[in-house]
């Protein structure tokens, strides 16, 4: 699998909280111009839990229309409480021109962690309903990772499983084992740019990240320098990119910080939806200073920088 990178796209809203369709088109086009694949309507960066079913469908339609065929476009959705919720999402995506569907692991709620056989039963149930290409999600947010043997049985049974996104801050052995066992069959992507180089070192396929909403060209440059064999430039780009996460993204919460950075760059994004709260005006100066320090306006060729 040739290495690549993806953005977990934000969902732009207007000041009065409506879906900003024009802003979404501009944002998606900027991602595609940088050569970055796109996941939309996700529960994290995409504020998927705040979206209505009609808004989610519209986001999928706009994405396919605006950048379909230019870069890979994938529907992300949100962690389901039961199989029917995931099936409902899969059936919605089936009727669109989106390339692939990101299938989240089950999150039953109230702190309950499903047993391995329940995890496998869930995936068997939901994957049966779609013929579209599927990317599995093994994400720490649900409290567990998909058992390795379960991954193996799923890809034996379902030919349309094309990849897996591994999102864990600590389980590097799990990432290594997924790549070692299934990297010749699956695109193995790490969730978050901080683990991008580790993924590539293990022989994986790259990374998916929220920071690419701010700096898609910088994100893509990490992969391009890797493919060119230029370690010095790759490490320099990765360090800059990591600073966006370590010094900005988590200070006010991921979505609010990303949208604040886009605001200072004069780019579409708008405010987050409740319960998230916009970054206070007095903190925007420090975000602008960080973007200047990293060189984001120059790297991204932002014309309307404020």
Residues 206-235: what's their mean pLDDT? 97
The pLDDT value given to residue 306: 42
Range with the lowest mean pLDDT among 63-72, 247-256, 263-272?
A: 247-256
Q: Which pLDDT value is given to residue 138? A: 97
Arithmetic mean of pLDDT, 215-235: 97
Q: In this structure, is residue 79 part of a structural domain?
A: yes
Residue 252: pLDDT band (50, 70, 90) is confident
Least confident of 32-36, 68-72, 245-249: 245-249
Residue 134, φ and ψ in degrees, nearest 5: -125, 140
Show Cβ contacts of residue 84 under 8 Å, excluding neighbours closer than 6 positions: none
Whether the predicted pLDDT of 171 surpasses 90: no
In a domain? residue 224: yes
Contacts of 149 (CB under 8 A, 6+ apart): none
Bridge partners (DSSP) of residue 206 are 4
Q: What is the SS3 assignment for 294?
A: helix
Is the residue at 263 inside a domain?
no
N-to-C CA span, the chain: 40
Q: CA triplet 48, 138, 224: central angle to 5 degrees? A: 85
| Continuous segment of H or E residues that includes residue 85 | helix 83-94
* Structure token digits, residue 103: 């299938």
- Percentage of residues in the chain having pLDDT higher than 70: 97
Q: pLDDT band at 248, cuts 50/70/90?
A: low
Does 200 map to a domain?
Answer: yes
In the structure, what pLDDT confidence band is assigned to residue 249 with cuts at 50, 70 and 90? low
Q: What is the pLDDT of residue 246?
A: 85
147-155: average pLDDT: 98
State the average pLDDT over residues 130-147: 96
Q: Is residue 252 a part of any domain in this protein?
A: no
Confidence (pTM): 0.95
Please give the pLDDT value at position 288. 92
Question: Does the pLDDT of residue 250 top 80, yes or no?
Answer: no
d(CA 201, CA 132): 30
CB contact set of 175 (below 8 Å; sequence gap of 6+): 166, 168, 188, 190, 195, 198, 199, 202, 204
Structure-token pair, residue 235:
């490490």
Residue 253 is predicted with a pLDDT of 77
Nearest to 46 by CA among 65, 64, 31, 24: 24
* CATH for 212: 3.20.20.70
Cβ atoms of 167 and 138 closer than 8 Å:
yes
Can you read off the two tokens belonging to residue 218? 């910088």
Domain that holds residue 78: 4-228
**pLDDT exceeding 90 applies to what percent of the chain?**
90
> For residues 45 and 43, what is the distance between their CA atoms, to the nearest angstrom?
6
pLDDT at 14: 97
Nearest to 138, CA basis, from 120, 125, 160: 120
pLDDT confidence tier of residue 1, bands split at 50, 70 and 90 = confident
**Structural domain includes residue 67:** yes
Q: What residues does 100 pair with on adjacent strands?
A: 74
Quote the pLDDT of residue 170.
80
Query: For tokens 């790549």, what's the residue?
Result: 179
How many domains does the chain divide into? 1
Three-state DSSP class for 230? coil
Q: Pick 118 or 305 by higher pLDDT.
A: 118
């Amino acid at each position: 699998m040739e290495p690549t990178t993806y953005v977990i796209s934000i969902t732009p809203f207007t000041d009065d909280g409506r879906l900003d369709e024009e802003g979404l088109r501009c944002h998606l086009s900027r991602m595609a111009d940088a050569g970055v694949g796109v996941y939309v309507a996700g529960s994290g960066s995409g504020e998927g839990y705040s979206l209505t079913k009609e808004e989610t469908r519209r986001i999928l339609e706009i994405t396919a229309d605006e950048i379909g065929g230019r870069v890979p476009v994938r529907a992300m959705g949100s962690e389901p409480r039961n199989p029917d919720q995931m099936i409902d999402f899969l059936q919605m995506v089936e009727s669109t021109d989106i390339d692939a569907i990101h299938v989240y692991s089950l999150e039953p709620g109230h702190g309950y962690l499903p047993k391995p056989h329940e995890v496998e039963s869930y995936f068997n149930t939901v994957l049966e309903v779609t013929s579209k290409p599927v990317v599995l999600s093994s994400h720490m947010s649900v409290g567990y990772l998909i058992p390795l043997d379960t991954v193996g049985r799923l890809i034996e049974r379902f030919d349309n499983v094309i990849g897996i996104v591994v999102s864990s801050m600590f389980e590097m052995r799990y990432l290594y084992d997924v790549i070692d066992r299934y990297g010749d069959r699956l695109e193995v992507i790490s969730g978050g740019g901080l683990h991008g180089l580790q993924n590539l070192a293990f022989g994986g396929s790259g990374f998916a990240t929220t920071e690419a909403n701010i700096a898609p060209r910088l994100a893509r440059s990490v992969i391009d320098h890797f493919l060119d064999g230029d370690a010095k430039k790759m490490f320099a780009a990765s360090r800059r990119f990591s600073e966006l996460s370590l010094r900005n993204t988590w200070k006010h919460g991921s979505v609010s910080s990303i949208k604040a950075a886009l605001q200072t760059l004069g780019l579409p994004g708008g405010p987050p939806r409740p319960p998230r709260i916009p970054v206070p005006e007095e903190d925007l100066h420090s975000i602008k200073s960080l973007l200047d320090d990293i060189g984001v306006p120059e790297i991204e060729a932002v014309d309307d920088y404020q």
